C-alpha cells in the first residue's frame, strides 16, 4: 500500500453510515445473504529462507462478516494479509475471490485493490498536512493514480459524501482541522473513513485498538461493527478485551495454520490455544 509520501492514500473500503439519510450516504454494496463466501484461502503455504511462515492455511470469509484473527507473534497473521492483498505470493494453494471464484494469485496488488480489497496497517497513514475534509475528499477520488489524487477537485456530490463519512467516523467537528493535529485514535478513524470512501467488499484491519484510550477503543469497536453489517471485515488484534467487544467469530493462528476457530469463549477454553498463546 502506498504511503502519503508516495502521493496516494490508503486502499479504502466501501462506505456506510447509520446516522445520515440514505441519500447522503456514500454508495456501498447491499447486504448479502449471511454465509455467502467472499474469500476462500485454501491449502496455502509460503516459506521465507527455509522458514514456513504459512503452513497449509485454509480460511473462508463470508460477506458480510466480522472476523477477528488472533495468535502469538510469528503465527502468520501479517503474512496472511500480505497474501490476500498480493504483497506475498505463496508457494502453493489457492486464494479465490467473490462469487465468481476469481484467482487472486494471478492479480497484481493494484488490481486486487481495485477488485474490492482494502487494507489498513497498524500505523495510521493519512495526509497530515491536509485537513480531515481534504483527506476524505482525496479518498473519494475513483482514480488512485498519484497525479489524479493531487489534482483532485471536489464534485457536486462530494460535500454530502464527506459529511456522511465524517459523521460515520465521528470527526464531523474536526473537518477543518489538519490531520496532523488529530490524536492517534482520531487518525485511525480518519484512515478508516478513507477506507470506507472507496467501497471495497473486504477490509483487512491490523491492530486498530493499539495505543487507544478506552473511549477510543469503544468508538472503534462500534465503527467496525457497523461496517461489518455491509462488508466483510477482518481484524487482526492482540487486545482480548477489544476482541471480546467485537463479539464475532475468532480464528486463532499458530505456526502458519488455523489452530482453533469459533466464538472467543470457545477458543479461549481450548487447551492448545492456552498453551501457545493465552498462557504466555
Q: Which residue has the higher pLDDT, 148 or 28?
A: 148
pLDDT of 125 strictly over 50: yes
**Which of 3.40.50.300, 2.60.40.10, 3.30.1180.20, 3.40.50.2000 is the CATH number of 4-278?**
3.40.50.300
pLDDT of 23 strictly over 80: no
Backbone angles phi, psi at 254, to 5 degrees: -155, 125
Confidence of residue 141 (pLDDT cuts 50, 70, 90): low
Confidence of residue 148 (pLDDT cuts 50, 70, 90): low
Rounded Cα distance, 199 and 196, in Å: 6
Q: How many CB atoms lie within 10 A of CB 211?
A: 15
Confidence of residue 198 (pLDDT cuts 50, 70, 90): confident
Q: How many CB atoms lie within 10 A of CB 121?
A: 16
Q: Which residue has the higher pLDDT, 250 or 152?
A: 250
pLDDT at 180: 97
pLDDT at 251: 98
Domain ranges of the chain: 4-278
- Which tens digit of pLDDT belongs to each residue from 205-228? 999 999 999 999 999 999 999 999
167-117-139 Cα angle (round to 5): 40
Segment among 27-31, 32-36, 145-149 with least mean pLDDT: 27-31
- Which tens digit of pLDDT belongs to each residue from 243-265? 999 999 999 999 999 999 999 99
In the block, cell 508516495 appears at 6
All three cell numbers of 258, joined, read 488455523
pLDDT at 244: 97
Rounded Cα distance, 94 and 102, in Å: 10
- Which tens digit of pLDDT belongs to each residue from 51-90? 999 999 999 999 999 999 999 999 999 999 999 999 999 9
- Under a CB-based contact definition with an 8 Å cutoff, are residues 232 and 61 in contact? yes
What mean pLDDT, rounded, does the chain reach? 86
pLDDT of 204 strictly over 90: yes
For 27, counting Cβ atoms within 10 Å of its Cβ (0-12 exposed, 13-18 middle, 19+ buried), the class is: exposed
Q: What percent of the chain has pLDDT over 90?
A: 75
All three cell numbers of 174, joined, read 474536526
Amino acid at each position: 500500500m502506498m504511503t502519503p509520501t508516495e502521493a496516494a492514500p490508503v486502499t479504502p473500503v466501501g462506505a456506510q453510515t447509520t446516522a445520515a439519510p440514505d441519500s447522503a450516504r456514500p454508495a456501498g454494496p447491499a447486504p448479502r445473504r449471511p454465509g455467502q463466501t467472499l474469500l476462500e484461502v485454501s491449502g496455502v503455504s509460503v516459506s521465507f529462507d527455509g522458514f514456513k511462515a504459512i503452513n497449509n492455511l485454509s480460511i473462508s470469509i463470508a460477506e458480510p462478516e466480522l472476523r477477528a484473527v488472533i495468535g502469538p507473534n510469528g503465527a502468520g497473521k501479517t503474512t496472511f494479509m500480505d497474501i490476500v492483498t498480493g504483497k506475498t505470493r505463496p508457494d502453493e494453494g489457492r486464494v479465490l475471490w467473490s462469487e465468481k471464484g476469481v484467482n487472486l494469485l494471478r492479480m497484481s496488488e493494484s488490481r486486487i485493490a481495485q477488485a474490492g480489497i482494502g487494507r489498513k496497517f497498524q500505523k495510521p497513514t493519512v495526509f497530515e498536512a491536509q485537513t480531515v475534509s481534504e483527506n476524505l475528499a482525496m479518498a473519494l477520488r475513483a482514480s488512485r493514480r498519484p497525479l489524479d489524487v493531487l489534482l483532485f477537485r471536489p464534485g457536486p456530490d462530494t460535500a454530502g459524501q464527506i459529511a456522511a463519512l465524517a459523521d460515520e467516523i465521528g470527526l464531523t467537528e474536526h473537518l477543518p482541522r489538519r490531520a496532523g493535529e488529530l490524536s492517534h485514535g482520531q487518525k485511525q478513524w480518519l484512515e478508516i473513513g478513507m477506507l470506507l470512501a472507496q467501497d471495497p467488499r473486504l477490509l483487512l484491519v491490523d491492530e486498530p485498538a493499539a495505543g487507544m484510550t478506552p473511549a477510543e477503543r469503544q468508538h472503534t469497536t462500534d465503527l467496525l461493527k457497523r461496517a461489518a453489517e455491509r462488508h466483510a471485515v477482518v481484524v487482526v488484534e492482540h487486545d482480548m478485551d477489544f476482541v471480546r467487544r467485537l463479539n464475532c467469530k475468532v480464528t486463532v493462528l499458530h505456526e502458519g495454520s488455523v489452530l482453533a476457530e469459533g466464538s472467543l469463549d470457545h477458543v479461549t477454553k481450548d487447551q492448545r490455544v492456552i498453551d501457545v498463546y493465552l498462557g504466555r
